Structure 1
């Protein structure tokens, strides 16, 4: 397959399409999944906080997204955020190798992007931005990666925005797996005919009143007591975790054989 060239015409088209613009539901990433040619698996996922589809380049970006979304502090997630004004923002760029990020045929500079631009809310309700780049530790050994990261670092430094690199070592697979398991209950229509808002409140009370019993047994008893289909109580339990009505150690595997008292933090 011939490599697709980057050109001024394509740049103008992307900008006209609104890529890299907007916030929340109205944000459009600079690149979609079909634009990627990565070693990882590109994926698309519906954002519970943004109400739109997110385009992620790799498994590590997917895990990072899950962690960001689950955080109560993060209110908006913008992936593939373009550094369109990089030349205007960075003053000290004489030693930066921008020439390495240029189309060889057209000589048009590529638009560099940061994996995630997050809007975060502090304890006082004040919002601020964080920029995060996701990289495998093996990539950090490459000179070309270092050159690109240095451009990103200076860009966000000049913007006055905190920027950090996150590697696979900081992305807990178990935590991401647990978040994935509970967030499914938040998706519209996932509950079927189950009234998850009303029944989850009843289940929470039932769990707290019988916290010395194994969770697996409690969930079975609740299904029978409420006349629910098998597995309904487990769905409601996952929903309670997703809503953070129940707080457990999400870094560990969720063992249903434990008592509620042992599971709760």
Structure 2
């Protein structure tokens, strides 16, 4: 039993496809969201991702940074929830209906495709919630529906809160990843900078950037851009979880 809106969303391809072709069930333009809604260009998927809170953005950045995660599907709808869940005892599915009695579509925040070391692929589902939301009975009832759904499908499912989303780590990723959105034509220059920095592990990064920029006769800011690119591509090893202080040396950043 589906209302007109759900039928329209399905016809639009929402909740369908993978990779570049996936269309999220809920877009940022559909509803007002609590927190800051974000549309962000995906590097791995090459499509726009629709995120509805700061926590969702931080989770997305961490997922995209991971080498193991190869596809990220946000706002994934559980359209076949009634068919998949056999054990419905205690579930308050009646609470999740619209004014006309039609069932609401429950979504899991992220459905991820993870590639193992042996090349095998598996699905992982993650629901992103603020800890304050977990005090609400309606939220817990929705999460229990999600838990049973993914359990029935044999998919690993967990809840992620802001406690698992370190802000500094996410800010660093966001600062670096911007360089991957631009067309890179200075591969040899980036490698030259990498060797330059690695050869001077006890010299402050800022000093090295200025020297490299001067020696290579680059426009102001280009060396910093290359430094961010090396971090984004993980060619330059630093502790990405800590604040990146340009006054520090490479050895101090590790």
TM-score between the two structures when normalised by the length of structure 1: 0.93
Aligned to 2:48: 53
Please, which runs of 5 or more residues in structure 1 have no aligned partner? 1-6
Please, which runs of 5 or more residues in structure 2 have no aligned partner? none
1:236 correspondence with 2:226: yes
1:146 correspondence with 2:140: yes
Q: Give the alignment of 1:69-108 within 5 angstroms.
A: 69-104=64-99, 106-108=100-102
Aligned to 2:188: 198
> Which 4+ runs in 1 deviate beyond 6 A?
none
Aligned to 1:137: 131
- TM-aligned CA deviation for residue 37 of structure 1: 2.8
- TM-aligned CA deviation for residue 212 of structure 1: 1.8
For residue 145 of structure 1, give the secondary structure of its aligned residue in structure 2.
helix
State whether residues 75 and 120 of structure 1, in contact with CA within 8 Å, keep that contact through their aligned partners in structure 2.
yes
State whether residues 114 and 133 of structure 1, in contact with CA within 8 Å, keep that contact through their aligned partners in structure 2.
yes
- TM-aligned CA deviation for residue 196 of structure 1: 2.9
- TM-aligned CA deviation for residue 38 of structure 1: 2.3
For residue 70 of structure 2, give the secondary structure of its aligned residue in structure 1.
strand
- Taking the aligned partners of 1:234 and 1:41, their CA distance within structure 2 comes to 28
State whether residues 82 and 112 of structure 1, in contact with CA within 8 Å, keep that contact through their aligned partners in structure 2.
yes
Number of residues of Structure 1 aligned to a counterpart in Structure 2: 254
Aligned to 1:3: none
Within the candidate set 185, 209, 230, 2:199 is matched to: 209
State whether residues 238 and 250 of structure 2, in contact with CA within 8 Å, keep that contact through their aligned partners in structure 1.
no
State whether residues 203 and 249 of structure 2, in contact with CA within 8 Å, keep that contact through their aligned partners in structure 1.
yes
